[in-house]
Amino acid sequence: MMITGKTKVCGLIGDPVDHSLSPCLQNAAFKHYGLDFIYIAFRVKQEDLKDTILGVRSLGFHGLNVTMPHKINVIQYLDDLDATAKRIGSVNTILNRNGKLIGYTTDGIGAQKALKYYGVDPSAKKVVILGAGGASRSVSLTLAKDARELVILNRTLSKAEMLAKELRALYRQDTVIKADELNGQNVKRELADANILVNATPIGMQPNDESTPVDTALLRSDLVVFDLVYEPLETKLLIEAKKRGATTIDGLTMLVFQGAMSFEIWTGRTAPFEVMMKAATSELALRARNKN
């Protein structure tokens, strides 16, 4: 593509960003429509965040994705938030609208869309979420409004309890929201009657891709297993769940839906989901070949 003075710049800020698939899937989407946009990843340390956002303003960047560790801290430097970002207290997408920086979050909605893509409706279901970090927060805040019961299991119990308390304050009284320690006994008890299991921990991510966050003997054919890890694309947890006939959802599907929604915020066009998915899948396959 030809980059000119009219090219609109979008990017990703975070630390680290080397592993990100966002540049390949966003640039594929821009190319699909022939848009004069370019997307670049920028490593930004925590102490440089304020200066970075000032630079975004002065340079006239069109939009940003925001990843860890900046999703919460970046809010103080923005002009406004959409309703979902305000409720969740986290931002992963920024639009520069005529000089005003507006924050959005597509994280939790990306998870919701990934479930729907595989024909899974969390309404009136029991959902068990492993982890209480940023990924868990976004998914929990989105799914809690529909689920019959939501259980957050985390190694540090206080973090799970804090998130559960926040969820109870936000949503209806008839949704059961619980928190407990992430250990074998609690996982076994909660999975016994669960409908959906979400792994929002990094367990199973490369290079520790032989690890699983739960005893795979607890997996069942009537359980939906959703792993937010996307590298490797098929984690050991998903491989073992498939062996038992469970419905499995990989983290790449959620990532691409998040990216697709960011694309629509920046461009006002319907995102070419399949084009973005193909680009991301091809990049993961290339990385896997290069490691072998």
pLDDT tier at 208, thresholds 50, 70, 90: confident
Per-residue pLDDT at 93: 97
pLDDT tier at 135, thresholds 50, 70, 90: confident
What value does the mean pLDDT take over residues 63-82? 95
What value does the mean pLDDT take over residues 165-191? 91
Of all residues in the chain, the percent with pLDDT exceeding 70 is 99
Per-residue pLDDT at 181: 98
By annotation, the residues acting in catalysis are 71
Contact 179, 95 (CB under 8 A): no
Contact 84, 109 (CB under 8 A): yes
pLDDT higher than threshold 80 for residue 225? yes
Q: Hey, what are 57's tokens?
A: 């303003």
Q: What is the pTM of this model?
A: 0.91
Per-residue pLDDT at 87: 84
Looking at the DSSP assignment, which residues form a beta bridge with residue 179? 152
What value does the mean pLDDT take over residues 108-128? 95
d(CA 39, CA 177): 39
DSSP conformation letters of 11-22: EEEESS-TT--H
pLDDT tier at 289, thresholds 50, 70, 90: confident
Closest residue by Cα to residue 196 from 251, 120, 134: 120
Rg (CA), the chain: 19
Q: Hey, what are 209's tokens?
A: 């891709």
Per-residue pLDDT at 291: 76
Contact 151, 175 (CB under 8 A): no
Lowest-confidence pick of 62-66, 161-165, 186-190, 229-233: 229-233
Lowest-confidence pick of 42-51, 206-215, 260-269, 272-281: 206-215
Contact 256, 276 (CB under 8 A): yes
pLDDT tens track for 25-69? 999 999 999 999 999 999 999 999 999 999 999 999 999 999 989
Q: Which domains does the chain have, with CATH numbers?
A: 8-105+253-274+283-291 (3.40.50.10860), 108-249 (3.40.50.720)
Tokens 């959902």 locate to 127
pLDDT higher than threshold 80 for residue 100? yes
- CA angle in degrees (0–180, nearest 5) for 140-203-143: 10
Residue type, 111: A
d(CA 237, CA 218): 11
Per-residue pLDDT at 112: 93
Which residues make Cβ contacts (< 8 Å) with residue 156, sequence separation at least 6? 132
Mean pLDDT for the chain? 94
Per-residue pLDDT at 172: 65
